[in-house]
Amino acid sequence: MKRKEWFWLICLLLSPLRIDAGMTAAQRFLMIPAAQNTSHGTQTYTLTASSPFTVPAGVVNLTIEIWGGGGGGGGGVAGMPGKSGGAGGGGAYAMKVKSVSVGNTVAFTVATAVSGGAVGVGGTAGTNTTCDGMTAGGGGAGAPGGGTDGAPGAGGTATGGSTNTSGSAGTAPGVGGAGGTPGGGAGGTVAAPGNPGNPGTAPGGGGAKGNAGPAHAAGGGGAAGQIKFTW
């Protein structure tokens, strides 16, 4: 082969139009396209009883997103002024992309909703959502009102994902912490004095404080977590 023919052959093989950034080195050499999903969809679960997820036909890359549960708000005690409970923290978020084959199963657990605290009692801490080595932690519980207003709960933390986002802590004014982003639910809002706190919104919103005043007030409940598969 002449020198000029060798030159054009090398240019053709190295052309960026022929090389996909998603290919392995071997695939680039052999010009074999990287595997792609030929089926597309989304499935969301809010109950552990739905586990496991079975990979459908035509799927080679599965995106997994999880949210932990929100913490419950603390209960307040009546007085003049009353001592309110603390708001619950929001659940965390984690995400990863997993290589799969048709028929593979992916087990998971989903955080359940929790209750806010009764009068003068702290809320219940949010629970974790787990899947394939990822954990999205539940939000912390709001402390009870007593001699002082209760402290808010911390936001949950996440591990094991390519993206790990903490939930928001409950706020000092008493609004529950939001679930981790993207997609986390809002925290519960504060009710009028002497009324129970509002619950958080799923997935992962923390419950509002029990806003004590002339009457006792229970804390708002923490919302359940969630898991979402996209392909």
| Separation between Cα atoms, residue 82 and residue 87, nearest integer Å | 15
Q: What is the pLDDT of residue 9?
A: 54
Residues 6+ apart with CB under 8 A from 14: none
| Separation between Cα atoms, residue 70 and residue 58, nearest integer Å | 35
Kindly tell me if the per-residue pLDDT of 11 is higher than 70.
no
- C-alpha distances out from residue 71 to 114, 205, 214, Å: 7, 8, 25
Confidence label for 121 from pLDDT (cuts 50, 70 and 90): very high
Q: Which of 40, 31, 95, 99 is nearest to 67 (CA)?
A: 95
Collapse the DSSP code of 13 into the 3-class scheme (helix H, G, I; strand E, B; otherwise coil) and give the result. Answer: helix
**Between 29 and 126, where is the model more confident?**
126
CB 141 within 8 A of CB 208: no
Q: Which of 16, 14, 41, 44 is nearest to 29 (CA)?
A: 14
**Between 98 and 19, where is the model more confident?**
98
Confidence label for 147 from pLDDT (cuts 50, 70 and 90): confident
CB 70 within 8 A of CB 176: yes
Alpha-helix residue ranges (DSSP H) falling in the chain: 3-14, 25-30
Kindly tell me if the per-residue pLDDT of 210 is higher than 90.
yes
Count of residues in the chain: 231
Confidence label for 159 from pLDDT (cuts 50, 70 and 90): very high
Place of tokens 């949010």: 126
| Separation between Cα atoms, residue 76 and residue 149, nearest integer Å | 8
Q: What is the pLDDT of residue 38?
A: 86
Range 207-220 average pLDDT: 94
Q: What is the pLDDT of residue 146?
A: 85
Q: What is the CB-side half-sphere exposure of residue 30 using CA atoms within 13 A?
A: 8
CB 209 within 8 A of CB 190: yes
Q: What is the pLDDT of residue 62?
A: 98
Range 71-78 average pLDDT: 96
The amino acid that residue 193 corresponds to is P
Q: Which of 9-23, 54-68, 196-210 has the lowest mean pLDDT?
A: 9-23
In the chain, the percentage of residues whose pLDDT exceeds 90 is: 78
Confidence label for 82 from pLDDT (cuts 50, 70 and 90): confident
